[in-house]
Amino acid sequence: MRRRIRRRYAAERRFRLLGLGAILLSAAFLAFLLVTMVSNGLGGFRQTEIRVDIDFAANTLSAASAGGEIEAAVAAAAEAQYGPGGARALSDTAWLRVERAIEDDPSILARKKALWLPAASAIDGAAKGDGDGEAEALVTRLEQDDAIRTGFNTDFLTGADATDPAAVGIWGAFKGSLLTMLVTLAIAFPVGVLSAVYLEEYAPRNRWTDMIEVSINNLAAVPSIIFGLLGLAVFLNTFHLPRSAPLVGGLTLALMTMPVIVIAGRNAIKSVPPSIRDAALGIGASKVQVVFHHVLPLALPGILTGTIIGMARALGETAPLLMIGMRAFIATPPDGITSPASVLPVQIFLWSDEVSRGFVEKTSAAIIVLLAFLLAMNGLAIFLRNKFERRW
């Protein structure tokens, strides 16, 4: 008897330890992912800058100078100050900052001015401790002159894609993601919620509704690439909507998100106690009033949670967007849902495929931005659920 009890306790302990082990394992994986991303990616938010003294009075630059002239003047100033190779220490886009400085304050054209300009990615790497001998030697020399600094990279948060890792930004892809999600939400949420309401409250129980239910469950499990092919065939080839546009991306992802919303919505509506419906009907409310005044508000937290989880999945989706041409190089942030755009996960995919080594840390930095976006969305889901939740 006692032995049996001991055995039962032992089994209990074993099971508890197994569960704990499973949690620890998944936490370890998550921690590993986060630590690698953060340690690789933090550098991406920082940018090395080099001080260049440009004597505007001595050169022929004016407020109307073309880009090429400014570029040449900056290169000449860098060579004069840091010797041959000085121009190569600066990023290809360094002259843009000089142009901006001239626009902001034309009076600098008459005097000598020290400007902090972005460094080329080889120097950037060396300053962060990952570079070759030549670049490191230059960095040491610059450090002695106090002519190099590493600061927060605001261009990364406000710029769009570029070919030079020192000049890339995430805003273009972020805005593309935002617009795509907007289209997805605008289509998938109303359609999903209305289908859920109809199926739960109005549809008769027969073989047809059973079939629809099975189809919806199936649809939720279809691999996303299939939706991409569907989007390519329907939206691009049949309706001739613009390629690479957030509109098409949003429509495609809406198809993918809708079943998730329908399933979550039905479950939420199902969990509203029938007594509430009966009471409302009993005091003479119409069916529509019952649904909109009582059932939906009570089911809302569940529906919203489902929606946001579906949206979060759509946000991280890459495969279907590749099919509809959202993998293009686009150097300007989109200005509407029909202008070509990229999205965060696709941008990460594109950068991971780049030749230049400076893109490695930018890729990780973009992943951090994507994770932060996802975290914000999931946080919103939890907030909404807690705010609207009602217990009985």
Partner 1 sequence: MEASLKIQILVASVATLALGACGSGEPGSGTAQLQIVGSSTVYPFTTAVAEQFQRTNAGMSAIVESTGTGAGMKLFCAGVGDNFPDMTNASRRIKKSEFDDCAKNGVKTIIEVPVGIDGLALIEARNAPGFQLTVADVYKAVAANPFGKPNTARTWRDVNPSLPAIPIRVFGPPSTSGTRDSFAELILEKGCESDPAMKALKESDKDKHKDLCTKVREDGAWVDAGENDNLLVQKVTQDPGAVGILGYSFLEENADKVRGIPLNGIAPTAETISALSYPGARQVYVYAKGEHVNAVPGMKEFLAEYSKAWGKGGYLERRGLIPSPADVQAKAVQAATQLTALSADGLK
Rounded Cα distance between 98 and 23, Å, is 53
Interface pick for partner 1 out of 6, 13, 112, 357 (rule CB under 8 A): 357
Comparison of 24 and 331: residue with beta carbon closer to partner 1: 331
Comparison of 212 and 229: residue with beta carbon closer to partner 1: 229
Minimum Å distance from CB 190 to partner 1? 6
Q: Please, are residues 180 and 347 in contact by the beta-carbon 8 Å criterion?
A: no
Residue with tokens 């805003």: 171
Q: Which range touches partner 1 (CB under 8 A), out of 26-34, 101-109, 187-195, 373-381?
A: 187-195
Q: What angle do CA 116, 117, 120 make, to 5 degrees?
A: 140
Task: Check binding of 337 to partner 1 (CB under 8 A).
Answer: yes
Rounded Cα distance between 241 and 252, Å, is 12
Q: In the 3-class helix/strand/coil scheme, how is 171-200 assigned residue by residue?
A: HHHHHHHHHHHHHHHHHHHHHHHHHHHHHH
Q: Which range touches partner 1 (CB under 8 A), out of 142-150, 179-187, 210-218, 277-285?
A: 179-187
Comparison of 6 and 387: residue with beta carbon closer to partner 1: 387
Rounded Cα distance between 293 and 169, Å, is 46
Task: Check binding of 292 to partner 1 (CB under 8 A).
Answer: yes
Q: How far is CA 319 from the centre of its chain?
A: 15
Size of residue set near partner 1 by CB under 8 A: 47
Comparison of 316 and 325: residue with beta carbon closer to partner 1: 325
Identify the DSSP state of 243.
T
Helix (H), strand (E) at residue 161? none
Task: Check binding of 213 to partner 1 (CB under 8 A).
Answer: no
Dihedral sign from CA coordinates of 41, 44, 46, 52: positive
Cβ atoms within 10 Å, residue 388: 16
Interface pick for partner 1 out of 186, 279, 372, 382 (rule CB under 8 A): 186
Task: Check binding of 378 to partner 1 (CB under 8 A).
Answer: no
Q: Where are the alpha helices (DSSP H) in 202-244?
A: 207-221, 224-231
Minimum Å distance from CB 285 to partner 1? 12
Span 59-88, contacts to partner 1 by CB under 8 A: 66-67
Q: Which residues pair with 154 in a beta bridge?
A: none
Q: Which range touches partner 1 (CB under 8 A), out of 38-46, 272-280, 293-301, 374-382?
A: 293-301
Span 104-133, contacts to partner 1 by CB under 8 A: 132
In order of 185, 198, 222, 259, 263, the CA distances from 256 in angstroms are 11, 20, 8, 7, 12
Interface pick for partner 1 out of 52, 89, 115, 162 (rule CB under 8 A): 162
Rounded Cα distance between 92 and 71, Å, is 9
Minimum Å distance from CB 7 to partner 1? 49
Interface pick for partner 1 out of 31, 210, 332, 379 (rule CB under 8 A): 332
Per-residue interface string for the shown chain with partner 1, residues 255-274, x marking contact by CB under 8 A: --------------------
**Binding positions for partner 1, rule: CB under 8 A:** 66-67, 92, 96, 132, 162-163, 179, 182-183, 185-187, 189-190, 236, 240, 242-244, 247, 292-293, 296-298, 300, 325, 327-332, 335-340, 352-357, 388
